[in-house]
Amino acid sequence: MRLLVTGGCGFIGTNFVRLVIDRRPDITVVNLDKLTYAGNPLNLADVEKTHGGTRYFFEHADIADAGAVRRILAQHRIDAVVNFAAETHVDRSIDDPAPFVVTNVLGTQTLLTAAREAGVTRFVHVSTDEVYGTLGPEGRFTESTPLAPNSPYSASKAAGDLMARAWFETYGYPVVITRCSNNYGPYQFPEKLIPLMIGRAGRDETLPVYGDGMNVRDWIHVDDHCRGVLLALEKGRPGAVYNFGGAAERPNLEVVRAILRLVGKPESLIRHVTDRPGHDRRYAMDFSLAAQELGYAPEYDFERGLAETVAWYRNNAAWLESVASGAYREFMQRWYGER
Ligand code: NAD
């Protein structure tokens, strides 16, 4: 199989490319990435070295650029697409929603159109539990929970999902949509909760926690998510939506405290800051459909996964520093400074 992975230089895409290269010798991967602030080709430098030009190819391009996407699909004779490419940070979407609409909506539509025209017979669109909105203290999201996104990020992802759905309903195009809860693990950009807190605690900086810190997320190790996406690619029913979760609901404050314990720093570093506007209270995933149809089950225990993740960031401090460019620092300072 010749597989196009979009957004392969981001957090989950990097881990997915590594999984496919390691576990599926019959798959050739073409990684199409725009290299936004969140994309780092160095994440895959070792894969480029060992498999570049044989089983791994990199294409610097934008999924919203129809001409570039058409050329790449044709040149590499692509048979399947997994679409990870997206603008992904909720706070940035509140600050400036426009790039989210361009990539997550127009980009998804452009990719769907080009893939269908090129005769690509498999398309997995990767999405998020955030499209379902927020939960009260009870219950879990299922695939039939109505979409009720609350942030510009989740609204743009929901719109992309609806494009993917329409390609199946209108054209019979065999799209599979996956929706996943909050991921953690190696190579995550340090604006997201877990690497942000590990990095700041390591530098003895304060740890900004939104509101009372009791917002609950269903944490999933990125390897479990990537295994789920690979199952969806190989076994997913055309037109289906599959939820993936980690069966590890934790309030943010508990996650931050666990990180402090793991890095040996005091809880006095925690600072409660004004809550994020429209901050969803609780997410939890019912992934029984993926369990039944795909044989999906998360393998990671959260405490083990978090300890391994903290160790990875501590052993890769140079990576953390290198991705935190001047532009990133400026955004973080402005965002947390203002709030
Ligand atoms: P990320 O921000 O770390 O990486 C996104 C990647 O996409 C980057 O490499 C970036 O350069 C690339 N990209 C952005 N715009 C592009 C464009 N127009 N054309 C080509 N490439 C572009 O994101 P992530 O956390 O790895 O998330 C990947 C996907 O998984 C996203 O679709 C996201 O919505 C979804 N998702 C993420 C999570 C999570 O917890 N991180 C959970 C569920 C779903």
Q: Count other C-beta atoms under 10 Å from residue 91's C-beta.
A: 18
State both tokens at 282.
């609780």
Interhelix angle 66-75/108-117, nearest 10 degrees? 40
Domain assignment of residue 99, yes or no: yes
Q: Considering only CA atoms, which of 333, 218, 243 is closest in space to residue 293?
A: 243
Domain assignment of residue 37, yes or no: yes
Domain assignment of residue 65, yes or no: yes
Domain assignment of residue 331, yes or no: no
CATH code for position 227: 3.40.50.720
Amino acid letter, 252: N
Q: Which of 6, 9, 58, 84 to mutate to test the pocket of ligand 1 (most atoms within 8 A of CB)?
A: 84
Please tell me the distance from the alpha carbon of residue 229 to that of residue 83, in angstroms, as a whole number.
10
Residues of the chain with pLDDT under 70: 325-339
pLDDT of residue 89: 94
State both tokens at 256.
């931050």
Please tell me the distance from the alpha carbon of residue 169 to that of residue 164, in angstroms, as a whole number.
9
Q: Which of 16, 36, 110 to mutate to test the pocket of ligand 1 (most atoms within 8 A of CB)?
A: 36
State both tokens at 153.
């990020």
Residue closest via CA to ligand 1's atom 41 equals 183
Please tell me the distance from the alpha carbon of residue 229 to that of residue 234, in angstroms, as a whole number.
9
The SS3 of residue 288 is helix
pLDDT of residue 60: 97
State both tokens at 273.
């800051």
Q: How many domains does the chain have?
A: 1
C-alpha atoms less than 13 angstroms from C-alpha of 65 in its C-beta half-sphere: 14
C-alpha atoms less than 13 angstroms from C-alpha of 55 in its C-beta half-sphere: 19
Amino acid letter, 195: P
**Cα torsion angle, 292, 239, 111, 141, sign:** negative
117 is catalytic: no
Q: Is 126 in the pocket of ligand 1 (CB under 6 A)?
A: yes
Residue range of the domain that includes 174: 2-188+219-248+281-301
Domain assignment of residue 338, yes or no: no
Q: What is the ipTM of this complex?
A: 0.99
**Cα torsion angle, 16, 21, 26, 31, sign:** positive
**Ramachandran region of residue 185, left (φ > 0), alpha (ψ -120 to 50) or beta?**
left
129 is catalytic: yes
The dihedral formed by the CA atoms of 272, 92, 226 and 221, expressed in degrees to the nearest 10: -10
C-alpha atoms less than 13 angstroms from C-alpha of 210 in its C-beta half-sphere: 17
pLDDT of residue 319: 86
| Residue in the block written with tokens 């944490």 | 219
Q: Identify the helix (H) or strand (E) that includes residue 122.
A: strand 122-128
223 is catalytic: no
Domain assignment of residue 40, yes or no: yes
Greatest C-alpha distance within the chain: 57
Q: Which of 44, 88, 184 to mutate to test the pocket of ligand 1 (most atoms within 8 A of CB)?
A: 88
Catalytic residue among 62, 129, 161, 224: 129
Query: If you measure from the C-alpha of residue 131 to the centroid of ligand 1, how many angstroms do you get, rounded to a whole number?
Result: 15
Domain assignment of residue 195, yes or no: no
Q: Is 90 in the pocket of ligand 1 (CB under 6 A)?
A: no
Query: Ligand 1, closest atom to CA 187?
Result: 3
